[in-house]
Structure 1
């Protein structure tokens, strides 16, 4: 198999694994919320769900390597607008993802707090998670459409 095809397979596989991990964490949070859990996002940091976060991290680390290698092998200039936009969104998304992990960890430790405070923390985590998903889907949209 040609190295370009292998790179594409790795890049797409990392994307599928990332989307699967995101879906698993969202599903777990939704299920625990429907079950009456006060801290549904925080329960995603319990084993084995923490492995979904680790898989997300591994996928996110692999994207710059396989992405740059793909761009190099295909011969696209790195100055194309869609590549630069995706790179900027990737940096923003990485920061939002780290912020999300921080907020989810804080939410998990929020025991004994007032219900109003916990509701505000949950709302903040939901907003940050929504931003992270929108950034991820924007990057995937740029990668799929490759606008000129």
Structure 2
């Protein structure tokens, strides 16, 4: 297997991890949230924080490295055309993902405190959850755009 193919496989796996982990995290957090059970929410949020730390953060670092290597090996200009647009969308995704990581940690902590006290989830939890939920949409659609650009490689 040549270097280009090896790096391309790593890049595709990274994209799948980013998209799949993001979709999975959103699903499990939403399902836990719907129960309004502080213990379940705290447990799910803890798993989500770990998954984001291990999988999403690793892929976030790997994607620009593998993408940059692919662009270099293929002779594509790095900051123009579909690659430049992909980088802009990647920045959009990151701008929404970074606050979401902090929000997930805060949601976990609020749910833990409520569970320990035997109380329902506090209003602060619900305010943060709404922000978390809304921030997922631009990140999700930006990732869809990046994947489309990776596959279609349109000319501008």
Give the TM-score of the pair, scaled to structure 2: 0.80
Using the alignment, how far apart are the partners of 1:2 and 1:144 within structure 2? 20
Q: Which range moved further: 61-70 or 128-137?
A: 128-137
Residue 34 (structure 1) shift: 4.0
Contact 2:38 2:121 in 1 (8 A): no
Could you tell me which residue of structure 2 aligns to residue 7 of structure 1? Answer: 7
Residue 44 (structure 1) shift: 3.8
What does 1:26-41 correspond to in 2, within 5 Å? 26-37=26-37
Match of 1:147, SS?
Answer: coil
1:32-81 residue CA offsets vs partner (Å, 9 max, x unmatched) = 1343436987654314x433212011011101100000001111122432
Using the alignment, how far apart are the partners of 1:146 and 1:40 within structure 2? 43
Give the TM-score of the pair, scaled to structure 1: 0.83
Q: Which range moved further: 4-13 or 71-80?
A: 71-80
Gaps in structure 2 of 5+ consecutive residues: 115-119
1:89-144 residue CA offsets vs partner (Å, 9 max, x unmatched) = 21221121111111222223335698544332221110012222122112112211
Q: Which range moved further: 130-139 or 2-11?
A: 130-139
Match of 1:59, SS?
Answer: helix
Gaps in structure 1 of 5+ consecutive residues: none
What is the root-mean-square deviation of aligned Cα atoms in Å?
2.5
Could you tell me which residue of structure 1 aligns to residue 63 of structure 2? Answer: 63
Paired residue total? 147
CA 146–42 in structure 1, closer or farther in 2 if over 3 Å, else same: farther
Larger RCO (CA under 8 A, 6+ residues apart):
2
Could you tell me which residue of structure 2 aligns to residue 99 of structure 1? Answer: 99
CA 82–36 in structure 1, closer or farther in 2 if over 3 Å, else same: same
Pair 1:25 & 2:58 matched: no
Could you tell me which residue of structure 1 aligns to residue 50 of structure 2? Answer: 51
Could you tell me which residue of structure 1 aligns to residue 134 of structure 2? Answer: 127
Q: Which range moved further: 132-141 or 56-65?
A: 132-141
